[in-house]
Amino acid sequence: MKYKKNLFALSLTTLLTACNSGSDDTKMGKFNLAVSDNPADAKVVNISFKQVVLKNYKGAISFDVSEDGGLKNVDLIKVQGSEMEVLVSGQSIPVGEYQMCIYMEKNEDPNNETSSYVKTMNGSIAGLTTNSKGSCGGVGAEDSNTGRLFINKKFTIAAGSNNFVAEFDLLKIMQGPKGNKDYWTLKPTGIELINLSDVGSISGEISINTSIDCRENAGHAVYLYPSDTSLANMSDFRGNVVAPAIAPIASARANAINDDITQGYNYEFGFVVAGSYSLGYTCTAQNDDPELANEENFFIHSAREPIDVTAENPTTVATF
Q: What is the pLDDT of residues 174-212, one digit of tens each?
A: 888 888 889 999 988 878 877 777 788 999 999 999 998
Would you place residue 35 in the very low, low, confident or very high pLDDT band (cuts 50, 70, 90)?
A: low
Question: Rounded distance, CA 167 to CA 101, Å?
Answer: 13
**Residue spans per domain, the chain:** 2-189, 200-317
Mind listing the pLDDT tens digit for each residue in 78-107? 887 778 888 877 777 888 889 989 999 999
Percent of the chain whose pLDDT exceeds 70: 83
Whether 298 shows a pLDDT value over 60: the answer reads: yes
Q: Report the relative pairing of strands 125-130 and 199-207 from DSSP bridges.
A: unpaired
pLDDT mean across residues, the chain: 81
CB burial string 177-204: b at 16+ within 10 A, e below: beeeeebbbbbbebbbbbbbeebbbbbb
Residues 105 and 48 sit within 8 Å (Cβ to Cβ): yes
**Over residues 258-280, mean pLDDT:** 88
Q: Is 244 exposed, middle or buried (0-12, 13-18, 19+ CB in 10 A)?
A: exposed
For residue 295, the model assigns a pLDDT of 64
pLDDT at site 20: 34
Is pLDDT above 90 for 241?
no
Instruction: Using the predicted structure, report yes or no on whether residue 261 has a pLDDT greater than 80.
Output: no
Confidence of residue 13 (pLDDT cuts 50, 70, 90): very low
Mean of the pLDDT values across residues 28-35?
Answer: 61
| CATH architecture, domain defined by 200-317 | Sandwich (2.60)
3-state SS, residue 159: coil
Identify the three-state secondary structure at position 212: helix
Q: How far apart are CA 278 and CA 240, in angstroms?
A: 20
CB 106, CB 130: distance < 8 Å? yes
SS3 242: coil
Residues counted in the chain? 320
pLDDT range class, residue 69, cuts 50, 70, 90: confident
pLDDT of residue 7: 27
Beta strands per DSSP E along 196-293: 199-207, 221-226, 250-253, 255-256, 264-273, 275-282
pLDDT band at 286 (very low <50, low <70, confident <90, very high): confident
Which pLDDT value is given to residue 32? 61
**Residue 133: pLDDT above 80?**
yes
